[in-house]
Amino acid sequence: MAVSEQLKKISDSVWELPASYKQGMRVPARIIATEKLVREMDEAVYEQISNVATLPGIARYALCMPDGHSGYGFPIGGVAAMDVHEGGVISPGGIGFDINCGMRLVITNLTLDDVQPHLHQIVDRLYERVPAGVGSHGFLKLSRQDFRNLVEQGARWCIEHDYGWEDDLEVTEENGCISDADASKISERAIDRGYNQVGTLGSGNHYLEVQVARPEDVRDKQLAEKFGITIPNQVVVMFHCGSRGFGHQVATDYLQTFLKVMESKYGIKIFDRELACAPFESPEGRDYFAAMKCGLNMSFANRQVILHRIREVFSEIFGRSAEDLGMQMIYDVSHNTAKLEKHTVDGKEKTLLVHRKGATRAFGPGHDEVAARYRDIGQPVIIGGSMETGSYLLVGTASGGETFFSTAHGSGRTMSRTKARKQWHGKQLQRDLEARGIYVRSTSWAGLAEEAGAAYKNIDEVIAATELAGISKPVARFTPIGNVKG
């Protein structure tokens, strides 16, 4: 029977593969999507999410968000909550090699009319100041010991070294520094790969974008005002990046550690080596958790230093301070993590390790972990679209419990990079985008072609699916006008 025939419709936005779909599934797999999106998903998503459902300790469902597509181990868009008191595991493949890949959004008090005459200058200078591309190194010259301190202290280290404002920490997930990160659990190779890369964007789908909130795209005026989005055609800056080579090496190191002990020591069998794991409550599991937290902090610090550079660029070009330009950060949120959280399952409160791989945490109003200034409206969620279409600011909802308060992270690819590259040419795409009012700089023409908008799902449909499922609520849509592509 084709997979699609075994998919059961639970509601207009929820689809289920029953636990009988594959031997070894401990829970059903659920896909959050509209019918159109679920039918367009590649079959590998079904295979991968049902593999996730076989992992020890998984609670309730293995979940895939509306932007889901095939990945390695977990699908991109995968969410799995493990009961750490019931043998629940931790898996690097449930987080991704790019630990704490995430989004940051900063507003300005400038309008499209203010920015348009300087757009090329802004994008060109951002391109110079925020290095992107293959193996790029940043401007910070750190000793290895400095870097160890940075990965234990996260964005706080940056604020203490004058790369940002104290206020930035309040609006960063975990206040920019997750506790109990332990640099003694990371390898020298991980340090080698990371200590020169703070303040760099990376490559692939990583980007830094100048965007506009058009009046017709402000979906909830009251909420938008709470975020300081109050002026017609207000300009904001959004960027997407992660923990660079450092995080990639931490994940690679522990993938190998887990492969060695998983079956021989813990008797865990898996369908895909990228699901290598160990019980959370094991020496290997605990070590990875402490090392992974260093990856989280590296990424918070990386985005903090990049924000500092963005403020410098705007300040230089407009001849006014960043404070005077109203460059307040709205939020910084991770979409590649595993975090210990309390959730209610079958009426009981449990401590779960929630893996989110290409999925964003989206706590609703009133939750303790939402930054104080947003607690009455819910946690901000930043979802980046392709460089051609648009991106969104949303908030978490009280009704998101079914997905462990998780939502989408992007628009989600529909076409492989290899195929996209054959369809478009980077230089032509850059010219076409410029004609449409989007000025793009990239380190790579081929990389630019691979990121063509048509290689992605329709972002508006993904956002509509999250709203229909009640897992996040759109506040404003932003249209790109300038883009630095990694």
Partner 1 sequence: MPYHYLEEIGTADIAFEATGRDLPELFTASADATMNVMIDNLDAIESRETRQIELSNDNLEMLLFDFLQELIYFKDARRLLLRANKMQIDQKADQFVLKATLAGEQLDDTRHQQRADVKAVTLHGFSVQKHEDGWKAKVLLDI
Rounded to whole angstroms, the Cα distance separating 140 from 118 reads 27
**Closest approach of partner 1 to the CB of residue 13, in Å:** 22
Query: Which C-beta is closer to partner 1: that of 206 or that of 367?
Result: 206
- Exposure of 228 by Cβ count < 10 A (0-12 exposed, 13-18 middle, 19+ buried)? middle
**Known catalytic membership, residue 69:** no
Structure tokens of 54?
Answer: 């076989």
Rounded to whole angstroms, the Cα distance separating 386 from 309 reads 23
447: left (phi over 0), alpha (psi -120 to 50) or beta: alpha
**Closest approach of partner 1 to the CB of residue 248, in Å:** 4
Structure tokens of 17?
Answer: 């593969």
Query: Which C-beta is closer to partner 1: that of 350 or that of 409?
Result: 409
Rounded to whole angstroms, the Cα distance separating 379 from 149 reads 29
Residues 6+ apart with CB under 8 A from 346: none
**Closest approach of partner 1 to the CB of residue 98, in Å:** 6
Query: Which C-beta is closer to partner 1: that of 202 or that of 285?
Result: 202
Rounded to whole angstroms, the Cα distance separating 261 from 277 reads 9
Query: Which C-beta is closer to partner 1: that of 134 or that of 398?
Result: 134
**Closest approach of partner 1 to the CB of residue 425, in Å:** 13
List interacting residues with partner 1 (CB under 8 A).
Answer: 42, 44, 69-73, 76, 96-98, 133-135, 137, 189, 192-194, 196-197, 202-205, 244-245, 248-249, 251-252, 255-256, 259, 272-274, 276, 413-419, 443-447, 450, 486
Rounded to whole angstroms, the Cα distance separating 174 from 152 reads 13
Among candidate residues 206, 240, 335, 409, the one labeled active-site is 409
Rounded to whole angstroms, the Cα distance separating 309 from 169 reads 16
Structure tokens of 323?
Answer: 């404070």
Query: Which C-beta is closer to partner 1: that of 273 or that of 342?
Result: 273
Query: Which C-beta is closer to partner 1: that of 89 or that of 229?
Result: 89
Active site residues: 409
